[in-house]
């Protein structure tokens, strides 16, 4: 019995000491609670930093420009449009000599020959037999075309003058020749450094360079009556009904004139 009573007494102080050692101090509890309260904000910052690193690794700019900076960037890009070409200078491009016309002060048309680039799909249409005002087509590198040196062109191009926005159009046309269809099927129409003619040349539809485009009501596209949405069919039916009413009133006039002629014939006898 004494052993049973002494054992708990000896264990109890040890247990109480363990509880006192495990229990944190009040200051430590405050520090722990404050750190736990600030943990979500720290995690959000860490996640935001991680997302920025991922976006930068994927080539995405995390921070956007302010609205004013974006407007300045767009304005600068617009002002510098055409100043620097991104198309490689050794790109393939075709340039043609077109027979155009210019209206003089007396109103008469005068011949005007223009040097202008040709897109890949336009040259494909010319090869298929479409009408064109181009007399000759010459293929060259984009860098040579942008120099605007007539010595780089065949002699037939000496009579021509370069078209408006020549550099911009050359760059645009060169990019059409970089498409897969053009690279696989159209480069043999005019091999690089060669000139070709014999297309379906025609000036029946004259290209007048300084023509004034005056728009009038005759240029409006008339809608088919089957898909009428303006009520033209109703108006035409109403007009036909009115003309049908007027027709019977005019018809008896003819018999009356015939009767008068018969009466005159009887009286004359």
Tens of pLDDT, residues 226-266: 666 666 667 677 777 777 776 655 455 556 666 777 777 76
Residue 92: inside a domain: yes
CA-to-CA separations, 125 to 20, 119, 131, 159, 189, in angstroms, rounded: 96, 10, 9, 25, 11
Give the whole-angstrom CA distance, residue 138 versus residue 156. Answer: 10
CA-to-CA separations, 263 to 251, 254, 257, in angstroms, rounded: 20, 15, 10
Q: What percent of the chain has pLDDT over 90?
A: 42
pLDDT band at 15 (very low <50, low <70, confident <90, very high): very low
pLDDT of residue 246: 66
DSSP 196: E
Residue 105: inside a domain: yes
Q: Which helix (H) or strand (E) holds 96?
A: strand 92-103
Rg (CA), the chain: 45
The Cβ of residue 180 has, within 10 Å, a number of other Cβ atoms equal to: 7
Range of the domain at 199: 83-234
Residue 126: inside a domain: yes
> What total number of domains does the chain contain?
1
Chain centroid to Cα 165, Å, comes to 19
Is 189 a residue whose pLDDT tops 80?
A: yes
Contact 201, 156 (CB under 8 A): no
For the ranges 61-70, 120-129, 228-237, the lowest mean pLDDT is seen at 61-70
Residue 193: inside a domain: yes
pLDDT of residue 69: 54
pLDDT of residue 50: 56
The answer to whether the predicted template modeling score (pTM) of the entire model surpasses 0.95 is no
Mean pLDDT of the chain: 74
Read off the pLDDT of each residue in 23-36 and give the average, rounded to a whole number. Answer: 46
pLDDT band at 149 (very low <50, low <70, confident <90, very high): very high
Residue 182: inside a domain: yes
Contact 122, 98 (CB under 8 A): no
Side by side, the strands of the sheet bearing 109-118 are 161-162, 109-118, 92-103, 134-141, 195-196
Q: Of 54-63, 87-96, 101-110, 239-248, which one has max mean pLDDT?
A: 87-96
pLDDT band at 155 (very low <50, low <70, confident <90, very high): very high
Residue 146: inside a domain: yes
Give the whole-angstrom CA distance, residue 21 versus residue 4. Answer: 27
pLDDT of residue 94: 97
Is 28 a residue whose pLDDT tops 50?
A: no
Residue 170: inside a domain: yes
Is 100 a residue whose pLDDT tops 60?
A: yes
């Amino acid at each position: 019995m004494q052993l049973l009573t002494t054992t708990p007494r000896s264990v109890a102080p040890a247990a109480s000491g363990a509880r006192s050692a495990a229990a944190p101090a009040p200051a430590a509890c405050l520090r722990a609670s404050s750190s736990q309260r600030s943990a979500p904000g720290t995690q959000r910052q860490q996640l935001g930093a991680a997302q920025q690193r991922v976006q930068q690794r994927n080539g995405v700019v995390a921070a956007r420009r302010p609205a004013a900076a974006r407007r300045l960037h767009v304005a600068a890009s617009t002002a510098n449009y055409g100043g620097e070409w991104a198309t490689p200078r050794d790109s393939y491009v075709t340039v043609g000599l077109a027979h155009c016309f210019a209206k003089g002060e007396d109103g008469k048309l005068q011949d005007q020959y223009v040097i202008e680039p040709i897109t890949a799909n336009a040259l494909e249409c010319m090869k298929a037999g479409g009408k064109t005002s181009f007399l000759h087509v010459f293929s060259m590198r984009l860098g040579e075309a942008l120099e605007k040196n007539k010595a780089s062109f065949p002699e037939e191009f000496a009579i021509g003058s370069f078209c408006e926005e020549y550099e911009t159009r050359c760059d645009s046309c060169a990019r059409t020749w970089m498409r897969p269809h053009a690279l696989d099927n159209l480069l043999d129409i005019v091999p690089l450094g060669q000139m070709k003619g014999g297309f379906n040349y025609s000036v029946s539809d004259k290209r007048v360079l300084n023509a004034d485009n005056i728009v009038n009501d005759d240029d409006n596209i008339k809608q088919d009556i089957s898909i009428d949405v303006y009520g033209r069919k109703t108006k035409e039916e109403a007009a036909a009904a009115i003309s049908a009413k007027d027709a019977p009133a005019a018809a008896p006039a003819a018999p009356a004139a015939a009767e008068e002629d018969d009466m005159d014939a009887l009286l004359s006898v």
